[in-house]
Amino acid sequence: MTYAVIDVGGNQIIIEPGKFYDVNYIDANPGDLINLTRVLFFSKLNVYHIGTPCLTQVLVKATILKHVKGKKIKIFKVKPKKNNRQTKGHRQKLTRIFVEDIIS
Q: How many domains is the chain partitioned into structurally?
A: 1
Q: Which of 51, 49, 40, 30 lies closest to 8 in space, CA to CA?
A: 40
Confidence of residue 1 (pLDDT cuts 50, 70, 90): confident
For residue 18, give the amino acid letter: G
The answer to whether the peptide bond before residue 80 is cis (omega within 30 degrees of 0) is no
CA distance 41 to 50: 5
Confidence of residue 77 (pLDDT cuts 50, 70, 90): very high
* β pairing state of 33-36 and 59-69: antiparallel
DSSP 28: S
Q: Which range marks the domain in which residue 23 is found?
A: 2-103
Q: pLDDT digits over 39-51, tens only?
A: 999 999 989 999 8
Helix-, strand-, coil-residue percentages of the chain, each rounded to 5: 0, 70, 30
